[in-house]
Chain A
Amino acid sequence: MGFEWLAILMFLGFFIILMSGYPVAFSFAGTAIVFGLIGLIVGAFDLHRLLLLPNIWFGTMSNFTLLAIPYFVFLGAVLEKSGLAEELLETLGFILGRLRGGLALAVVIVGTLLAATTGVVAATVIVMGMLSLPVMLRYGYDKKLAAGVIIASGTLAQLIPPSLVLVILSDQIGVSVGDLFLGALIPGLMLSGSYMLYILGLAVFKPEMVPALPEDLEIPKGKDLTKQIFKAVVPPIILIFIVLGSIFFGLATPTEAGAVGAVGACLLAFFNKRLTPQLLRDAAHSTAIITALVVMILFCSSLFGLVFDALGGKTLITSLLTRLPGGYLGFVIFSNIAIFLLGVFLEFIEICFIAMPLFVPAAQAIGIDMVWFGVVMAINLQTAFISPPVGFSLFYLQSVAPKEISTLEIHKSAIPFMVLQFIVLVIVMLFPQTVRWLIDLSTTTGVS
């Protein structure tokens, strides 16, 4: 005992190693090794605790839900490498024609639809990055805006059901998953709406960031455009609705729906006469690489979390958090600030485990509606996902971003969207009906 400050120093150590440019995954592992060793020397770390590691790793391997990563990345890779994604967004650009910001609006809409098909943020951010970042850059969109739109709308996967985060939150705060799913839907759509308003605002006030298609570009009109819409836009939209529909009509669970989508993308390429062995191999190769690098981060960050816990990090944060200011308003504001600060450095799962058990009894004692509280926390975690320099969504986008956009630009790109999320957070906090409305509607209409 008495060495908990070592756990806090871990953040500093991690920050330094991370900034040296050494890979994120191994920076997690390296920090854990250094501080584990220090802990071992001063007697604050029990070597036995390392034996948890294989079990945590095995838990990751057998985590069925993570299969969404290879399925959706493969789907995205097929659409990207066959050129179908480009045609889709290009044609969307034609439809929206001279409307500034049109392409970015399309990205937000596609991101919202994808969010409804999976709860795994890594999958959606990566797919959105593959599909739309190159196109937006090519049409002269501001790099930071392009990256920010993708990061923010890709991260919606954790708020719009189905969602891994909401499932874990429901476990921690003891409300039903169904209520949380329903409660998060409107706030999720509000976020997506706020991104669109922001883009429209830019179109008016900063038109150079979201340019319309160039004047000299020949845009197909009339019959030609209709033809192209049916060829390039309709099929991929149908694909998304097949994935959504296979969940909605009970053909597949959300994870399996990813596999349906992956096969669907191949069929789409086939009907466009683009399904070559080369295409399949390239798509499979990208999928393998991205899956490996995402899980490498998860494997290494679990070592970090393990050492952090063993050094008493959670105990220390607990003792800080229990000095809660009293009263309804005090508690609500404090808990939000605490979650946000933790979110800058910790993974969302860790935050759920550290903070929720402390907040829940206090929230219940004050008589706060727990579903509403859960949704508010989920919006906050949404911000944690995209906050630099340790937002996991930033890393996921980095993994597929072209060289012309720098890491610094990606990390900076999230900041305006963090502000937007804060505004939506305040609205949801002021108007709990945004969460309750659908739930109350479903209870009054009874069991289906």
Chain B
Amino acid sequence: MRSLLKLSSAIDTFTDKIGWFINWLVLLTVGVGFYNVIARYIGRFIGVTLASNVFIELQWYLFSLTFLLGFAYILKHGENVRVDFLYAHFTEKQRSLIDFLGTIFFLIPFCLIGIWVTFNPVLQSWGYLPNGTWGTWEMSPDADGLPRAPIKSMIPLCLLLLLIQSISQAIKYLAVLLGYQTVAERIRIETSENINIE
């Protein structure tokens, strides 16, 4: 159990690092969105085409990255919404049991299914052909668009991060079930409302 908990701590630290990174993505998304609005108008007056589908598509690329990378982070910090009419009245062990079973039977299989079904489409997007050879990357169909393969690859990659974090969660829930009080305390701090970043 001790070494499992060490593993879990390592995973948690890693996930928090990503949580720091996504803040920047949000600011970038807002910046690019604002640029798209002003570029169309300023470009008109100075006679240069500043607006482009590159930035229109970049907007939703950044948006997608934000939430995909956020999946693991919100899991660690217990941000997912619950209908806790009953849950709120359960004991710590009862809650951990629900979360442990859910993680093992629902969440981990969900991640595995997600990774499995996205694997081929992502390969295809990088140009993998049914006969085993490689063709060209998938591009946006619209004028001046971006390549699609990199953003599509982020789906299985981020589900992998979510999978790793759910393993860490399972370890922690198990520890609570086995009576490790310190771990229960750790979960309480992680999921309390005032998340201290950094």
- Whether the complex brings A and B within 8 Å at their CB atoms is answered yes
Binding site for B on A (CB under 8 A): 17-27, 29-30, 33, 50-51, 53-55, 57-58, 61-64, 66-67, 70-71, 74, 246, 251-252, 255-260, 262-263, 280-281, 284-285, 287-289, 291-297, 300, 303, 389, 395, 398-399, 402-403, 406-408, 411
Known contacts being A26-B107, A288-B22, is A296 close to B74, with CB within 8 Å? yes
Chain A binder among B5-13, B57-65, B176-184: B57-65
Q: Chain A contacts of B137 at CB under 8 A? A: none
Known contacts being A50-B117, A262-B30, A262-B33, is A23 close to B82, with CB within 8 Å? yes
A300 and B110 within 8 A (CB): yes
Binding site for A on B (CB under 8 A): 19, 22-27, 29-30, 33-34, 36-37, 41, 56, 59-60, 63-64, 66-71, 73-74, 77, 79-88, 90, 95, 98-99, 102, 105-107, 109-110, 113-114, 117-118, 120-122, 151-152, 155, 193, 195, 197
- A245 → B minimal CB distance (Å): 12
Q: Chain A contacts of B84 at CB under 8 A? A: 21, 406-407
Report the 9 A-B pairs with minimum CB-CB distance, sorted nearest first. Answer: A21-B87, A292-B70, A259-B33, A30-B106, A23-B80, A284-B26, A61-B64, A284-B23, A295-B67
Give Cα A296–Cα B161 distance, bound, in whole angstroms: 14
Q: Chain B contacts of A71 at CB under 8 A? A: 29-30, 33
Q: Chain B contacts of A25 at CB under 8 A? A: 80-81
B23 and chain A: residue at smallest CB distance: A284
**Can you list 5 A-B pairs with a CB-CB distance of less than 8 A?**
A18-B83, A22-B87, A246-B37, A281-B23, A291-B66
Majority DSSP secondary structure for residues of A touching B: helix
Give Cα A297–Cα B3 distance, bound, in whole angstroms: 33
Known contacts being A20-B86, A284-B27, is A395 close to B81, with CB within 8 Å? yes
Q: Chain A contacts of B110 at CB under 8 A? A: 26, 29-30, 33, 300, 303
Give Cα A414–Cα B133 distance, bound, in whole angstroms: 57
A293 and B80 within 8 A (CB): yes
Known contacts being A58-B155, A251-B41, A263-B34, is A20 close to B70, with CB within 8 Å? no
- A14 → B minimal CB distance (Å): 11
Given A292-B79, A303-B113, 15 more A-B residue pairs with CB atoms under 8 Å apart are A17-B106, A19-B86, A53-B114, A58-B121, A58-B152, A58-B155, A70-B30, A74-B26, A256-B37, A281-B23, A291-B63, A291-B67, A292-B67, A292-B70, A293-B79
